[in-house]
């Protein structure tokens, strides 16, 4: 083979290798960009969840205050305020990777909502009892146990959502 032909062949091989290398880097950059975008969306979602939960906690503090005063009307008002935070959680735009996590959060908050409603209902019955229609104290312990069970299930679902979010975050950190 003449020297010019060999040099030209080496040049073509080097050029092909360079093009292949650039194409590979471009593919990785595109994948990295998509992964980075997904991570940013996930972080934004979790920031919104955390903000909503902080809002919920402050609203539930008002509920606890109303309970300490045996103020059934205040309990209802504060519970309704807390439900607004729960509704905000349901309205969040959820990235595809976080849909299972969102379901856990929504299911958990719905359980908490049920527990609050049952608690308010119980206290309303106690407060509205009269001598003619007294409260049936024989049901009190079982109703409190049911409320606690619903509350614990709600907290468990929220914790499950947090665990799934932590697992997903751990997988993303390894990428």
What is this structure's pTM?
A: 0.71
Question: pLDDT tens across 42-69, in order?
Answer: 889 889 988 888 888 888 888 888 888 8
Backbone angles phi, psi at 140, to 5 degrees: -55, -55
The tens digit of pLDDT for each residue in 13-22 reads 444 444 444 4
Q: Where are the alpha helices (DSSP H) in 69-98?
A: 72-90
Name the burial class of residue 143, with classes exposed (0-12), middle (13-18) and buried (19+) by CB atoms within 10 angstroms of its CB.
Answer: middle
Rounded CA separation 21/27 (Å): 10
Kindly state the tokens that stand for 90.
């349901």
Cα separation, 89 vs 161, whole angstroms: 13
Q: Is the CB of residue 89 less than 8 Å from the CB of residue 52?
A: yes
Given this model, what pLDDT does residue 156 score? 93
Q: CA-CA distance, 159 to 114, in Å (whole number)?
A: 17
């Amino acid at each position: 083979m003449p020297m010019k032909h060999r040099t030209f062949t080496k040049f073509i091989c080097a050029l092909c290798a360079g093009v292949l290398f650039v194409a590979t880097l471009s593919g990785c950059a595109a994948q990295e960009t998509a992964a980075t975008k997904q991570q940013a969306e996930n972080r934004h979602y979790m920031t919104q969840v955390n903000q909503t939960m902080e809002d919920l906690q402050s609203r539930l503090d008002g509920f606890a205050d109303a309970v300490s005063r045996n103020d059934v009307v205040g309990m209802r008002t504060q519970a309704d305020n807390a439900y607004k935070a729960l509704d905000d959680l349901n309205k969040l735009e959820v990235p595809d990777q976080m849909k299972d996590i969102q379901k856990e959060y929504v299911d958990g908050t719905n359980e908490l909502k049920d527990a609050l409603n049952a608690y308010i209902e119980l206290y309303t019955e106690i407060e509205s009892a009269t001598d003619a229609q007294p409260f049936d104290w024989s049901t009190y312990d079982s109703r409190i146990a049911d409320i606690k069970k619903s509350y614990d299930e709600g907290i468990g679902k929220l914790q499950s959502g947090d665990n799934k979010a932590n697992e997903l975050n751990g997988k993303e950190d390894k990428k």
